[in-house]
Amino acid sequence: MSGQALRLIVVAAALLIAASGCSPQPAAKTPDASGLEELFDVDELVIVANDGSRHTFDIYLALDNKQQRRGLMFVRDLPELTGMLFVYEDAGVRSMWMKNTYIPLDIVFARADGTVSSVIHDSVPLSLDSLRAEEPVNYVLELNAGVARRFKIGAGSQLIWPR
């Protein structure tokens, strides 16, 4: 086959593809916080900090095992007053890791009554280290790194979530 015949075949194939309405698929997009609404329910959470101040956060709810495994992985931007609340029916010594998590987080562990038992500050993105609660808890709240210190959220603070 001559070079000219091959060029004609390639051009004809390209025209056929264009005429059929086929187009290349866009590359997969890394989700940001704005895409999480498709995967998680959204609610509000109030935190009463150690100094008595109250702070309201928009939270994504990780209620089942699939959502809890996904968490904030692949998120590259999270508004300051936004977080993710992992809800567990039974108390347990929960641990988290930062696999595929690109933003540093504060991790707040809370008992069934919403009382904060411990906080891990400034987790390292993409780390596989286990970040563990100090005692059995029913809730784990992930916030942007620095928020817990800035708002004085620590052991003894109170999470208020109507559910």
pLDDT one-digit tens code per residue, 82-117 = 999 999 999 999 999 999 999 999 999 999 999 999
As a 3-state breakdown, the chain gives helix, strand, coil percent values, each rounded to 5, of 20, 35, 45
Number of structural domains the chain divides into: 1
pLDDT of residue 25: 40
pLDDT confidence of residue 20: 46
Instruction: Tell me the three state secondary structure of residue 92.
Output: strand
In a domain, 9, yes or no: no
- Tell me what pLDDT residue 74 has: 93
Report the CATH number at residue 148.
2.60.120.1140
Q: pLDDT at position 163, please?
A: 77
- Domain for residue 42, yes or no? yes
Inside any domain, residue 57: yes
At CB < 8 A and 24+ separation, what contacts does 36-41 make? 36/60, 36/75, 39/67, 39/70, 40/67, 40/84
Q: Is residue 10 part of a domain?
A: no
Please give the model's pTM, rounded to 2 decimal places.
Answer: 0.79
State the amino acid at position 34 in one-letter form. S
* Cβ-based neighbours of 90, under 8 Å, separated by 6 or more: 138
Residue with tokens 């210190």: 149
Below-70 pLDDT ranges, the chain: 1-34
Whole-angstrom CA distances from 151 to 1, 18, 19, 42 are: 73, 56, 58, 22
Cβ burial of 59 (10 Å; 0-12, 13-18, 19+) is buried
pLDDT at 4: 61
Strand order of the sheet with strand 105-110?
Answer: 116-120, 105-110, 137-144, 82-92, 54-62, 41-48, 158-160
Domain that holds residue 101: 29-160
In a domain, 18, yes or no: no
Tell whether 92 is covered by a domain: yes
Q: Read off the tokens for 134.
A: 């100090």
